A and B are shown apart, each in its own frame.
Chain A
Amino acid sequence: MDFEFLIDGSPRRISLENRDGAVYFREGEVAVEAEVRRISSAELLFTFGGRTSRIHLARDGERAFVSVAGREFVITEPLPGTRGPLEGDEAGVQGSFLVKSPMPGRVIKLSVGEGQPVRKNQALAIVEAMKMENEIQSPAEGIVKKIHVSVGEFVDSEKPLMEIESTK
């Protein structure tokens, strides 16, 4: 069976067959055969190459969180009708970038104003979370078209902070 996933935001296409615990995995040129056992709803055992790895998996809404040897991945299925993520998180309309905060937090400083020209990587705002200040930089050279937040406001990682119109 074929699967399309986004893993940490990157699209991947794999196929997986399950025959009585023997699992055949294929992705492009890579083929893997392993024995897989489910221990609980959250734990799978993968045996291949003479070693058994314990994999943990939990779902929260549409996201599956998977832990493999201390590494965590977020896996989602692409929404029907979409063709994977666009280039970069900020890419919105062509020539225009929606700048988002990479994590939830509080806007503690806006370094630019609407209509102001900005260079690529110029500081646009500072968002504070868990007592750390994080500088949000401009993804491109352009002009600040619209600022959607104000100082003191709480933002999540979805809400755009501002829109930059690219001039390059």
Chain B
Amino acid sequence: MFRKILIANRGEIAVRVIKACREMGIRTAAVYSEADARSLHVGLADEAVLIGPAPAVDSYLSMGRIVEAARRTGAEAIHPGYGFLAENADFAALCEEEGIVFIGPSSAALAIVGDKVRARQTMEEAGIPTIPGMKSVSRSPEEFRAAARSLGFPVMVKASAGGGGKGMRIVRDDGGLVPAVEAGRREAKSAFGDDSVYLEKYIEEPRHVEFQVLADNHGAIVHLFERECSIQRRHQKILEETPSTALEPGLRSKMGETAVKAMRAAGYNNAGTVEFLLDRDRRFYFLEVNARLQVEHPITELVTGVDLVRQQIQIASGGKLSLNQGDISQRGHAIECRIYAEDPKANFLPSPGRIVLLREPKGPGVRFDSGVLEGWDVPVHYDPILAKLIVWAEDREAACRRMSVALDDCVILGIHTTAGFLGDVVKHPEFRAGRTTTSFIPKQFSSWGTGAGEEDARRMALAAAAFDLLTRPTGRAGTPETGPTKGTATPWTTLGRWRAGGDDLYGL
């Protein structure tokens, strides 16, 4: 087993990997940019190396500096997390040359699956259903126009190196094609350092269902069932759950077997995910392989009881997979909500800034994977993910209720976050009924923040602000204060209720 691992990432995923390492008795080295000097992951690691200025291209995407940091700290392996260099075949190859273990698939497997176009070819050859699309990337507007016409609008612009919704655009007519390709290219360049894009037929209102796979370096492959990730905004997941309400046992095992077959065809090793689109007729299409630990991996951990990061590290150190397919089962239901620094009332615009108050939700079946601290400035340079709230319960309804309460208890003040919005998603009758597709957010939540609940909350916020001004302790901020001393025996009894114009608002 490794004695020291370098984590080439930041935020909540770096923290997650550090925790697994600590449990395994492995020392950790963090890397950080100048913008992250005071970040949580830097403080939690055994040591930390400054690798460059804030822009990711000069720090977290700089292969040379990260390998140099691994050398300097004596780390035998690098965990890339997700994003940044996680699916970069050149980086995996560089690690291999330098004799550092890359905790992920081999550079050869990455080269196949990391390139979406090549992955599609491989899957087609293996007899796995794929979405109709361009056979290769292109730079010529004429080729894009011709391809769009032959596929038929609407089409989807996708980044060849893509993931996380970056570089993706839906195009509904000829006029929108060239600007969409141009924008997709710029976004792909800044996110992945590769501006190759291609077109795929756009499937309307699909469900997004993916299968977690673990493959060791000795040929053993298992799947750990599905995650449904249909709730998306800007083609990026914000809520995931498992099991999927769309799969019955027959379809589930068929898709699981297909996922294993896909990974075998790609010569894949370590943890990975096979993404499928499920159309309205329950036909499924291979979408892509996510050759990394996924953001949403915790829900699989909660229903299968398997620690995926520990499995990744064991596999990378040459260990044989300790799991047989027959031993893996799903128990209960898990949901993850991604807490982003974004303003849901303003079309999910990024909301960087200082976190002035942080209260993490906790309780039975509640897990909070966080990369943030109170008093810390959320930098403008990176992905807006702050934390992930994950719950487990016996069944879906109980999990929804648990999530709803946990989101109410999730307090991040100073910036806008998606927590309140996700609370309304979880309470939505269509969501409760399990009718989730990738158009759920645009369809059901085109405007948010105007309902009656919102107005009640707004009034309470105003009352709280006024009460605070009237009673604010003059002492140092953060000093605990006792409440009014009179009537302390019955603080929980009702003295009044909301009334509108003298009438009882709740009809109580």
Binding site for B on A (CB under 8 A): 1, 3, 5, 7-8, 12, 14, 16, 18, 20-23, 25, 27, 29-42, 44-50, 52-60, 64-73, 75, 102-105, 108, 128-134
Contacts and interface: CB of A to CB of B under 8 A. Distances in A.
A47 B492 contact: yes
Contacts of B483: 21, 37-39, 45
Contacts of A65: 356-357, 413-414
A70 B423 contact: yes
Contacts of A59: 356, 477
B464 A44 contact: yes
Contacts of B468: 44, 57, 64
A50 B478 contact: no
- The 8 A-B pairs of least Cβ separation, nearest first, read A33-B496, A37-B483, A21-B484, A58-B357, A65-B413, A49-B497, A130-B350, A71-B420
Interface residues of B, number: 81
SS of A interface (majority): strand
A34 B346 contact: no
A42 B359 CA distance: 10
A71 B454 CA distance: 8
A129 B352 contact: yes
B1 interface: no
B493 to A, nearest CB: 7
A16 B470 CA distance: 9
A48 B497 contact: yes
B190 interface: yes
Given A21-B483, A70-B420, A103 B186 contact: no
27 contacts: A3-B469, A14-B462, A21-B484, A31-B501, A33-B499, A35-B493, A35-B495, A38-B467, A41-B477, A41-B478, A46-B463, A46-B464, A54-B409, A56-B359, A64-B468, A65-B356, A69-B457, A71-B423, A71-B461, A72-B413, A72-B417, A105-B350, A108-B186, A129-B349, A130-B383, A131-B382, A132-B234
B357 A56 contact: yes
Contact of A64 (B352, B416, B460, B465): B465
Contacts of A21: 483-484, 486-487
A70 B346 contact: no
B314 to A, nearest CB: 32
B462 A102 contact: no
A59 to B, nearest CB: 7
B166 interface: yes
A128 to B, nearest CB: 7
B329 interface: no
B356 A58 contact: yes
Contact of A60 (B414, B462, B495): B414
A57 B356 CA distance: 9
Contacts of A71: 420, 423, 454, 457, 461
A92 B420 CA distance: 32
Contacts of A64: 465, 468
B464 A35 contact: no
Interface in B344-392: 345-346, 349-354, 356-357, 359, 380-384
A45 B420 contact: no
A105 B473 CA distance: 37
Given A22-B495, A35-B496, A49-B506, A103 B463 contact: no
A20 B488 CA distance: 11
A4 to B, nearest CB: 10
Interface in B410-458: 410-414, 416-417, 419-420, 423, 453-454, 457-458
A133 B183 contact: yes
Contacts of B492: 47, 52
Nearest to A60: B356
Interface string B464-508: 111111111100011111111011000111111111111000101
B123 interface: no
Contacts of B479: 40-41
Contact of A30 (B353, B410, B454, B501): B501
Contacts of B271: none
Interface string B185-227: 0110011000000000000000000000000000000000000
Contacts of B45: none
Given A7-B462, A55-B460, 6 more contacts: A25-B459, A30-B499, A70-B407, A72-B417, A129-B352, A131-B190
Nearest to A49: B497
B445 to A, nearest CB: 14
B186 A133 contact: yes
Nearest to A21: B484
Interface in B118-164: none
B500 A104 contact: no
